[in-house]
């Protein structure tokens, strides 16, 4: 007896085959086998938006192999990912193999562990056609938008552009934020604090200015500060109120796709794409010495905070044994998911209690760092609350009131394992709370004041943009990372350190969309459409009706836009770099792999050059400058300005330091400074 199991990836196939044994053959489909054709729309709009699927180019031999294997198998199980995309892939595979979707051939599991896989194989189900319908509606809608709008953008703006249901509204978020920053008018304000002490000035406590006669007061100018200072001259500082309390701080919930991407951005400096790549490999399975292939985390595309009861039991036992019973809450913690979450899924968690350090040698650096983050976050989510002793005190001085706030960690609880990252600075805890009593007089060390100006909202980082997308209901867990990648690839935005800055092109395309296709870049419309597409999954929405209601007004807008939009001429940014062929000043152009310098005399002069940045470091071979360059495929590297005469090149940023062991240039890799010589391990 031979059974066939079909999954998406070879790694996943290898892991599962080891669990199922010799009577099972596991083959990877390498993702989708069928899709809409690239050369045409592939959707019959007149015939209820019927899709015209074809076998993807290059997959023909694989389809033949699967058909032969299925013909010779006693049973066929389709074990693609446990989401709507995985369900659609399963449906396509079943169609190609002639398997009825009603047949119980579909198996799904939230984690790739022996127990989960064998349990799923014992309980196959029919393909969920509502889930497939939802995926198809999204695919058709996105295809219509892409294939109808993109040619318009090519014709009116520039070739290579695109528009999309999630992509366009996300670009608008970046553009709107940038314009909010540009139009922001700062307002002046001042902070005032009194540094007070009992007996030793070096042990002063900060008391922040609150107001006068029990009312809060803002200081908007130096004149306001001077008035308060003059009225505080010679004042006595007396404690008028002291409150001691205990405050509990609960752990953050386990990760969803969104929060994992946000935290990996904050703590690991990972892009969302890098995070998902590492997470995929952790989910599909890693070979652990002595244990074989293990899927180390649950499925990484989820918006659910649900945790299986057996996982809670397993990890509570581990926490109690490792940290002590006092680190366990009385009952297992549960977390409430968002309104659109699919609670059939689980939150992202480790599948075993294997500690990151214990398996570090089996993991790549990215895998280890992300696994440690997921492991620590989940462990903390099931631990007891942290407990803080807090004190607030009011200090009175000539009718003015200052406030002292202090806290001290009493019991670490979950913070022993993990503390959630933030985008703002938090107050530090004191080692000891000051001992203050009502009526106590304090001495003034000094009054400290500082001018500030209100700041505009910050530019989005990948983390904050994903958070905003999730809160607004734009896209779903599987779309956050690819959406940001597309926006950057289309040059609608670019990275500036960790922030995302919309380009002139991004602003022009957004304005065009706002004027002629307002719904597509409207946040509320996009979120409502997402919810309607979700309704197809639950049987509360009809695919054809939703597509028709969208398409009819869109087709009308498209026809009007074709007539009204004039060709938009993008201005090239001139530089001070002189063309070595004809002497004109080079301009910045944008190509498939990013920006480059080109002669404005095209087509008479076809000279182009890479954009370079001086690193300020001298080449160790010829003493010329080392420049930051970009390869034809958009990858940054660091090479001598005299290339190709001098062949010195690095793939990491150079520093002006020399290796103490061998004298080579030191490079910067993340937070570490290492020797650039691969044979030397100096740092």
| Sheet containing 649-650, strands listed edge to edge, beginning at the edge strand earlier in sequence | 613-618, 625-630, 636-640, 649-650
Sheet holding 585-591: strands in order across? 573-578, 585-591, 594-598, 608-609
* 529-542 per-position pLDDT tens digit: 999 998 998 888 79
Predicted local distance difference test score (pLDDT) of residue 64: 96
Q: What is the pLDDT of residue 295?
A: 95
Spell out, as residue ranges, where the chain has pLDDT lower than 50.
none
For residue 384, give both structure tokens. Answer: 């007891």
Q: Which residues of 313-336 are buried (b: 16+ CB within 10 A; e: fewer)?
A: ebbbeebeeebeeebbbeeebebe
Q: Indicate left, alpha or beta for 298 from its phi (over 0: left) and psi (-120 to 50: alpha).
A: beta
- The answer for residues whose C-beta is within 8 angstroms of residue 325's C-beta and 6 or more apart is none
Q: What is the DSSP letter of 348?
A: B
Q: Cβ-count burial of 594 within 10 angstroms (0-12 exposed, 13-18 middle, 19+ buried)?
A: buried
Buried b (16+ CB within 10 A) or exposed e, 560-593: ebeeebeeeeeeeeeeeeebeeeeeebbebbeee
What is the per-residue pLDDT for 124? 96
Integer Rg of the chain from CA: 30
Interatomic CA distance for residues 318 and 668, integer angstroms: 38
Query: Helix %, strand %, coil % for the chain, to 5?
Result: 35, 25, 40
Do 221 and 190 contact (CB within 8 A), yes or no? Answer: yes
- Name the DSSP letter for residue 345: S
Both tokens of 232, joined, read 């505080």
- Burial of 235: CB neighbours in 10 Å, binned 0-12, 13-18, 19+: middle
The domains found in the chain, sorted by start residue, are 3-127 (3.40.50.140), 137-183+458-564 (1.10.460.10), 188-250+386-453 (2.70.20.10), 257-381 (1.10.290.10), 573-675 (no CATH)
Give every CB contact of residue 284 below 8 A, 6+ residues apart in sequence: 9, 11, 12, 15, 112, 295
Nearest Cα to 127, choosing from 168, 93, 162? 93
pLDDT at 567: 86
Return the active site residues. Answer: 299
Residue-level pLDDT at 287: 93
Residue with the two structure tokens 């540009």: 182
* Residue among 438, 434, 498 at smallest CA distance from 465: 498
Q: What is the pLDDT of residues 552-561, one digit of tens each?
A: 999 999 999 9
Q: How many CA atoms lie within 13 A of 571 on its CB side?
A: 4
HSE-CB at 73 with a 13 A cutoff on CA atoms is: 22
- The stretches of 127-240 forming alpha helices (DSSP H) are 129-156, 167-182, 222-232
The whole-angstrom separation of Cα 463 and Cα 458 is 12
Residue 215 class from Cβ within 10 Å (0-12 exposed, 13-18 middle, 19+ buried)?
exposed
Instruction: Find tokens 């959707």 and name the residue.
Output: 43
- Chain-centroid distance of CA 557 in Å reads 33
Sign of the alpha-carbon torsion through 278, 279, 284, 287: positive
The H-or-E segment that residue 267 falls in is helix 257-268
Tokens of 441: 């007089």
> CA 194 → CA 209, 400, 433, 446, 680, distances in Å?
7, 11, 18, 6, 54
Per the CB < 8 A criterion, the answer to whether 357 and 300 are in contact is no
Q: How is residue 327 written in tokens?
A: 């680190």
In whole angstroms, give the CA distance from residue 381 to residue 315: 10
Residue 547 CB neighbours (<10 A): 20
Write phi, then psi, for 537 (nearest 5 degrees). Answer: -60, -35
What's the sign of the alpha-carbon dihedral 620, 623, 628, 632?
Answer: negative
Rounded CA-CA distance 287/291 in Å is 7
Q: Taking the CB of residue 503, how many other CB atoms lie within 10 A of it?
A: 21
């Amino acid at each position: 007896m031979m059974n066939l199991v079909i999954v998406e990836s070879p790694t996943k196939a290898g892991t599962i085959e080891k669990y199922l044994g010799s009577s099972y053959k596991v083959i990877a489909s390498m993702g989708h086998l069928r899709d809409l054709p690239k050369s045409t729309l592939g959707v019959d709009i007149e015939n209820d938006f019927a899709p015209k699927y074809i076998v993807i180019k290059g997959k023909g031999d694989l389809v033949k192999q699967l058909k032969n294997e299925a013909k010779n198998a006693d049973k066929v199980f389709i074990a693609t990912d446990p989401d709507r995309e995985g369900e659609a892939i399963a449906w396509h595979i079943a169609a190609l193999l002639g398997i009825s979707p009603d047949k119980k051939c579909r198996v799904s599991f939230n984690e790739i562990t022996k127990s989960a896989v064998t349990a799923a194989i014992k309980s196959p189900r029919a393909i969920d056609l509502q889930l497939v319908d939802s995926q198809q509606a999204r695919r058709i809608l996105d295809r219509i938008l892409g294939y109808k709008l993109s040619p318009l953008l090519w014709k009116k703006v520039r070739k290579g552009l695109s528009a999309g249901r999630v992509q366009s509204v996300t670009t608008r978020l970046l553009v709107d934020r940038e314009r909010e920053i540009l139009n922001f008018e700062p307002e002046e304000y001042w902070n005032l604090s009194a540094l007070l002490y009992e007996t030793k000035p070096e042990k002063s406590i900060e008391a922040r200015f609150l107001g006068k006669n029990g009312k809060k007061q803002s200081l908007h100018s130096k004149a306001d500060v001077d008035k308060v200072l003059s009225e505080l001259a010679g004042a006595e500082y007396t404690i008028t109120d002291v409150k001691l309390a205990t405050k509990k701080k609960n752990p953050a919930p386990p990760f969803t796709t969104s929060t994992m991407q946000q935290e990996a951005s904050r703590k690991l400096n990972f892009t969302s794409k890098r995070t998902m790549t590492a997470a995929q490999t952790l989910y599909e399975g890693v070979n652990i010495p002595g244990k074989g292939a293990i899927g180390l985390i649950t499925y990484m595309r989820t918006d659910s905070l649900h945790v299986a009861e057996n996982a809670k039991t397993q990890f509570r036992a581990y926490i109690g044994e490792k940290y002590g019973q006092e680190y366990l809450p009385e009952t297992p913690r549960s977390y409430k998911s968002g309104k659109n979450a699919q609670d059939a899924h689980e939150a992202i968690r480790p599948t075993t209690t294997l500690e990151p350090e214990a398996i570090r040698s089996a993991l790549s650096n990215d895998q280890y760092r992300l696994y440690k983050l997921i492991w620590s976050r989940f462990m903390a989510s099931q631990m007891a609350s942290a407990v803080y002793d807090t004190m607030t005190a009011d200090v009175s001085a000539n009718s003015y009131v200052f406030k002292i706030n202090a806290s001290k960690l009493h019991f670490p609880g979950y913070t022993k394992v993990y503390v959630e990252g933030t985008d703002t600075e938090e107050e530090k805890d004191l080692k000891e709370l000051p001992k203050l009593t009502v009526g106590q007089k304090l001495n003034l060390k000094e009054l400290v004041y500082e001018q500030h100006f209100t700041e505009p909202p910050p530019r989005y980082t990948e983390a904050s943009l994903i958070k905003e997308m999730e809160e607004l209901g734009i896209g779903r867990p599987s779309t956050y990372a690819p959406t940001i990648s597309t926006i950057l690839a289309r040059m609608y935005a670019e990275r500036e350190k960790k922030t995302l800055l919309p380009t002139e092109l991004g602003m022009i395309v957004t304005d065009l969309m706002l004027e002629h296709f307002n719904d597509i870049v409207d946040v509320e419309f996009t979120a409502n459409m997402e919810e309607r597409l979700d309704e197809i999954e639950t049987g509360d929405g009809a695919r054809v009706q939703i597509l028709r209601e969208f398409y009819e007004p869109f087709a009308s807008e498209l026809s009007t836009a074709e007539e009204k939009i004039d060709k938009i001429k993008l201005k090239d940014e001139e530089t001070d770099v002189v063309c070595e062929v004809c002497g004109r000043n080079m301009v910045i152009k944008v190509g498939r792999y990013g920006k480059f310098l080109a002669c404005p005399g095209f087509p008479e002069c076809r000279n182009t050059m890479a954009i370079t940045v001086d690193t300020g470091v001298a080449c160790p071979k010829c003493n010329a400058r080392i420049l930051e360059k970009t390869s034809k495929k958009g990858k940054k590297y660091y090479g001598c300005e005299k290339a190709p005469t001098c062949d010195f090149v690095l793939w990491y940023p150079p520093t002006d330091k020399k290796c103490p062991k061998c004298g080579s240039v030191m490079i910067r890799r993340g937070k570490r400074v290492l020797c650039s010589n691969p044979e030397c391990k100096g740092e």
